[in-house]
Structure 1
Amino acid sequence: MTATPAYDALASTWTRLHRLGHLQSIASWDQSANMPPKGNEARAAAMAEMAALLHGMRTDPALAAKLDAAETEPLDEPQHANLREMRRQWRAATVLPTDLVERQQLATARCEHAWRTLRPANDWAGLVPGLKEVVALAREEATRLADAHGVSRYEALMDRYEPGLTTAQVDRVFGELRQWLPGLIRQVVERQSRETVLVPQGPFAREAQRRLCEDMMRELGFDFDAGRLDVSTHPFCGGVPEDVRLTTRFRDDEFLGSLMGTIHETGHARYEQNLPREWLGQPLAEARSMAIHESQSLSFEMQLGSHPGFVARLAPRLAAAFGAQPAFEPGNLRKLLTRVKPGFIRVDADEVTYPAHVILRYEIERPLVDGEIEVEDIPALWDTKMAELLGVDTRGNFKDGAMQDMHWPLGLIGYFPCYSLGAMYAAQWFAAMRRAMPDVDTRIAAGDLAPVFDWLQHNIWQQASRWSTDELARRASGEALNPAHFRAHLQARYLGA
């Protein structure tokens, strides 16, 4: 007889959830990458059915007794951590009725599908009805979670992506950013205005871009036997650790967007592919949070991908892919990859202006969830904050303004703070690496990326959800999140300070 019958029964349930979630994730990837447009309504119904099935399993009344019984069983430390994560997921799920989960799945699938055609048409008015439905459902979810868990409505939604994060923490961190970021942007733009930068001359064949992206994925350790690269409207990383799906997008006149976007998604993918296999199927083996996930993509894209040593080794690959030209000279390429210019599009933003895009979205979606503003108010607020934070005029330009992201149509409200928190964590990880390995920059320049990957593997990837986010950060770097590392990184890279 097993000494932990309740725990074993729970582990079996979560293994089933993982396997069914595998099918759900691949169907979701296919919806974005391959599905013909007329398949959307049927796919939305199928996804809603799967969401209801999984929700029913997570809210099975029998789980409550098993969770309580497992607490009294002789569990080791990882099992206790796994049980903690099971209870956290169960508590969040039991608050939400199945019909709400189904309605959300249908509404977000329809809204995101409509967004794909409405955005190129700059048709904000056409998006409003679907987005209002998504926001209304998000408010309903937030209210139920907030009432049950004693947090604010926005905190309830953030908790889905960053467990335990409070608005007070975000307000403090973003408040500090608001104090020094605009000045830093002005300093860097003024400094770079005196530089001469050559722009690569296209066109750049898409097949050559794909080969280059896949080559860089291999260089960065991506396992193509456990994943693949495809094309979608908005780049993302999905799937499951056993089958990770990356997407990117290509333009004929520009290649750095697809290349750096692929490097970014490869960071997400390496995290997923290196989660602890012995715990696969259990909550313990899941990524800790979305801020930690973003710290991996930004460790790859910004800390490593724009590292001078990495850029120097990238230059000859570009010449091989597209033909030699002066713009591919390492010094010029580094200038291109660290160019700071306030612009419309978040996903194309440099790492200095990027946090301003995140602050803007946070300052809109928080009052939106709280009912202080409505969907119709978003464009005017967007215009005001873009002018204030970045000096950019978006009036009437909805496709490059409030319609540019798929997050709100998909109901991913409460996610945006994770992007900038992830950038801060990434800077903190590399500061810790440099303390532990003073020669790490020299080794990167020599093409030896193993020290970076080994550090991430030991301190982040294999730890998965064993610890709270703060405890994970302390164990990895000696302290909880410290935004000072991000500021120091930007000042060193862009001002030589």
Structure 2
Amino acid sequence: MSYTSLVEHFEQLHHLQHLGAICGWDQATMMPPGGNEARAEALGTLAVLCHRQLQDDRLPDWFAAAGEEALTPEQGVSLHEMRRAWRDANMLPADLVRARSLAGSRCEHAWRSLRPANDWAGFLPLFEEVLNLSRQAAAARADTLGLSRYDSLLEQYEPGMRGAELDRLFGGLRGWLPDLIRQVQDKQRHEQVLVPEGPFPTAQQKALGLEVMTMLGFDFNHGRLDVSVHPFCGGVSEDVRLTTRYDEQDVTQALMGIIHETGHARYEQGLPAAWCRLPVGQARSMGVHESQSLFFEMQLARHPAFLARLAPLLERHFGTQPAFAPDNLARLYTRVEPGFIRVDADEVSYPAHIMLRYEIERDLIEGRMEARELPERWDQLMRQYLGLSTQGNDRDGCLQDIHWTDGSFGYFPSYTLGAIYAAQQAAAMERQLGPLARLIEADLPAIFGWLQQHIWQEASLQDTAGLLTAATGQALDPAPFRSHLEQRYLA
């Protein structure tokens, strides 16, 4: 059967991608600095091998023949997802794939030292090369898909989403989010919040993180936790690699970072094993992926009921102090203070960081601005959205993120889409299972079971719109997200 040949072919591709994922994890966590150029070359070669696997001359005939075979509904969807992966790969020539991989590896590696040095001038030529190659890729994809250049990149991360829909969603947020930020700050102005007093040794922070990961159901037989400059979740579903970063004077950020990445990891580990080596068995989209990490971090871990469970763990690892009281933790973890750093942003001001990046990356790809203009535009939008200036402070401005260093344009909207999806899922879960507070207190497995049934095991068997509608009973709707923020921060 041609479908069987396709399955074998795509399983081979999965093995190559598996090696690439682990090599990328090693590059970010354990590789000595002197190994970067050789690793960049190796990953570039691997990227070409994966690309060639998807450009195999036999694939069109196999697709045509498989379409005439008696397939189950699931196999039919699997065939569709294989075709989509093949289509995406054939939009770009192999030399462009390799050039993008090399430029991205070099830019990302240099960023690690250039960002702490606030060296925008040193970063610019590397970034200009990444942007140039990304524009070439966007143009090639746009020609094939009949989309705008930015939409063609957005399609990689959030299939079916378009810039026009983002403009509508983000336009709605702009209508009420700034006022909500002000209201919450006014409400919190006279609240007393105790900051935990360190130091908090890294080894003990890691031990706490591992205990919380266990409570959240992470399978350590198929994953591990390490350290990197920028926290991430990588690897493959059979071997999930999480990273975080520690500050021995602040226990709060690393812990929530671990919980966030555990949400990503539980999604990966919950994908259907029978499909894990095929495109249909992968995560539906980056927005859906972010919905799981944000469900864990925002809907779950910052809930007062969860913080009440967290308080005794903090005391066991670091000793008793007033800051670890549950009510203080609730105030601490819901503090709204607009700041420079996206990954440290509170839940309410976070979407402003994403809207800023969305506007910039859209205009960069569409050619409406150039890389050299980035610091000035960043400062302008930071002033507009958050009332802060990054003039002369590129380290905490346009150099702070890793995403653009490897050409991941179109990715950032996934974060706020994920927050909207997560709030919609939480509202549906409460309608079906009862108050989230009760579930957190007495039945955490029921929460994970709901996610397993409605999100994780579905993988890519449905498109994002269908997945969300089936899970929550309604199409994409930002109303539950607004309701969640107003109830948590103003009620």
TM-score by length of 1: 0.98
2:469 match:
474
Q: 5+ residue gaps in structure 2?
A: none
Native 8 Å contact 1:132 1:375 kept in 2: yes
Native 8 Å contact 2:223 2:242 kept in 1: yes
Letter of the 2:104 counterpart = T
Provide the C-alpha distance between the structure 2 equivalents of 1:105 and 1:65, rounded to a whole number of angstroms: 29
Mapped pair 1:343 → 2:361: no
Provide the C-alpha distance between the structure 1 equivalents of 2:404 and 2:246, rounded to a whole number of angstroms: 24
Alignment partner for residue 39 of structure 2, among 43, 49, 59? 43
Moved over 6 A (4+): none
Provide the C-alpha distance between the structure 1 equivalents of 2:103 and 2:333, rounded to a whole number of angstroms: 38
1:384 match:
380
Provide the C-alpha distance between the structure 1 equivalents of 2:86 and 2:257, rounded to a whole number of angstroms: 34
Mapped pair 1:312 → 2:308: yes
Secondary structure in structure 2 of the residue aligned to 1:244: strand
Alpha-carbon displacement from aligned partner over 1:200-256 (angstroms, at most 9, x marks no partner): 111111110000001000000000110000000000000001100000000011011
1:295 match:
291
2:426 match:
430
Q: 5+ residue gaps in structure 1?
A: none
Alignment partner for residue 60 of structure 1, among 42, 56, 62? 56
2:150 match:
154
Mapped pair 1:239 → 2:235: yes
Provide the C-alpha distance between the structure 1 equivalents of 2:179 and 2:145, rounded to a whole number of angstroms: 39
Provide the C-alpha distance between the structure 2 equivalents of 1:289 and 1:64, rounded to a whole number of angstroms: 25
Secondary structure in structure 2 of the residue aligned to 1:164: coil
1:179 match:
175
- How many Å apart are 1:95 and its aligned residue? 1.1
1:104 match:
100
Native 8 Å contact 1:308 1:445 kept in 2: no
2:489 match:
494
Mapped pair 1:32 → 2:28: yes
1:357 match:
353
Provide the C-alpha distance between the structure 2 equivalents of 1:169 and 1:87, rounded to a whole number of angstroms: 25
Provide the C-alpha distance between the structure 2 equivalents of 1:270 and 1:287, rounded to a whole number of angstroms: 11
Alignment partner for residue 332 of structure 1, among 305, 328, 336? 328
Alpha-carbon displacement from aligned partner over 1:85-123 (angstroms, at most 9, x marks no partner): 011111111110000000000000000000000000000
- How many Å apart are 1:337 and its aligned residue? 0.5
Letter of the 2:186 counterpart = E
Secondary structure in structure 2 of the residue aligned to 1:60: coil
Secondary structure in structure 2 of the residue aligned to 1:72: coil
Letter of the 1:411 counterpart = G
Provide the C-alpha distance between the structure 2 equivalents of 1:479 and 1:139, rounded to a whole number of angstroms: 36
Alpha-carbon displacement from aligned partner over 1:119-157 (angstroms, at most 9, x marks no partner): 000000100000000000000000000011100100111
Provide the C-alpha distance between the structure 1 equivalents of 2:458 and 2:215, rounded to a whole number of angstroms: 24
Say which is worse superposed, 477-486 or 121-130, in terms of deviation: 477-486
Alignment partner for residue 480 of structure 2, among 480, 485, 493? 485
Letter of the 1:14 counterpart = F
- How many Å apart are 1:258 and its aligned residue? 0.3
- How many Å apart are 1:439 and its aligned residue? 4.1
Secondary structure in structure 2 of the residue aligned to 1:160: helix
Secondary structure in structure 2 of the residue aligned to 1:159: helix
Provide the C-alpha distance between the structure 2 equivalents of 1:481 and 1:267, rounded to a whole number of angstroms: 21
Secondary structure in structure 2 of the residue aligned to 1:302: helix
Provide the C-alpha distance between the structure 2 equivalents of 1:59 and 1:105, rounded to a whole number of angstroms: 18
Native 8 Å contact 1:440 1:451 kept in 2: no
2:453 match:
458
Letter of the 2:139 counterpart = T
Provide the C-alpha distance between the structure 1 equivalents of 2:59 and 2:474, rounded to a whole number of angstroms: 36
Secondary structure in structure 1 of the residue aligned to 2:338: coil
Letter of the 2:462 counterpart = W
Percent of pairs with identical residues: 55
2:265 match:
269
Letter of the 1:311 counterpart = L
TM-score by length of 2: 0.99
Alignment partner for residue 258 of structure 1, among 239, 250, 254? 254
Letter of the 1:168 counterpart = A
Provide the C-alpha distance between the structure 2 equivalents of 1:85 and 1:359, rounded to a whole number of angstroms: 30
Alpha-carbon RMSD across the aligned residues, in angstroms, is: 0.7
- How many Å apart are 1:269 and its aligned residue? 0.2
